[in-house]
A and B are shown apart, each in its own frame.
Chain A
Amino acid sequence: AQSVAQPEDQVNVAEGNPLTVKCTYSVSGNPYLFWYVQYPNRGLQFLLKYITGDNLVKGSYGFEAEFNKSQTSFHLKKPSALVSDSALYFCAVSAYSSASKIIFGSGTRLSIRP
């Protein structure tokens, strides 16, 4: 069965510092991995995805994520946080064999202090 874990409910970072939001997954076979962001009272917005190829994926708003197959992780990173990055972040996974079925993590609230 597929599963996604976001071990931190909340991450607090000072503006200008690097940020990391953690995600680990479990699927049978190769994964498709996604990060989405949700701003207050809005639907989710796509940030980036890993399908195949280069393990470092770059996405919107300066975010990037690294696929680590041995650690089954897909952590979201940004070199320099902005206050406007404050939002709820979701990691999601699906498997090559059943790509239509998508599992989301429980979400991590990112708070950037000025």
Chain B
Amino acid sequence: EAQVTQNPRYLITVTGKKLTVTCSQNMNHEYMSWYRQDPGLGLRQIYYSMNVEVTDKGDVPEGYKVSRKEKRNFPLILESPSPNQTSLYFCASSSVSGGTSYNEQFFGPGTRLTVL
């Protein structure tokens, strides 16, 4: 089954304790992206990647890091989480056509993060 998986699904942590949220897709997609969803703000793009070793900032990259060492994986790293990073996080992937990522995105189930 084609899917995007995220782990963990739920996480409660404390300020300053480094954490990683994993994202994996089995569709051989070139493009992957991370979003955070907050009430009234919709989804905001954190980072995206057009392919292995190619990453770029979205609209809200501060406090986050990503890496793309393999095509299927795109982990999101919070080196020193703060309470304002409490949110619902989604990973997504899509294929690329002609070097452009305008195809539909497939979303993971989400990770609900609480930073105390």
Query: Which residues of A pack against B, CB within 8 Å?
Result: 4, 6, 9, 32, 34, 36, 42-46, 49, 51, 90, 92, 94, 96, 99-107
Contact = CB atoms under 8 A, between A and B. Distances in A.
Contacts, number: 64
Nearest to B104: A46
A90 to B, nearest CB: 6
Contacts of B107: 36, 43-45
A105 B42 contact: yes
| In the A-B complex, the 6 residue pairs with the closest CB atoms | A43-B107, A46-B104, A104-B43, A106-B42, A32-B102, A44-B107
Chain B contact residues: helix, strand, loop or mixed: strand
B2 interface: no
B56 to A, nearest CB: 7
Contacts of B31: 100
B33 A102 contact: yes
10 contacts: A43-B107, A43-B108, A46-B104, A49-B102, A90-B43, A99-B102, A100-B56, A101-B58, A102-B105, A104-B45
B57 to A, nearest CB: 9
A100 B104 contact: no
A101 B35 CA distance: 11
Contact of B41 (A46, A94, A96, A106): A106
**Interface residue range, chain B:** 20 to 34
B29 interface: no
Given A4-B42, A43-B108, A106-B40, 9 more contacts: A9-B40, A36-B105, A36-B107, A42-B109, A42-B110, A44-B43, A44-B90, A46-B106, A99-B100
Contacts of B44: 104
A24 B73 CA distance: 34
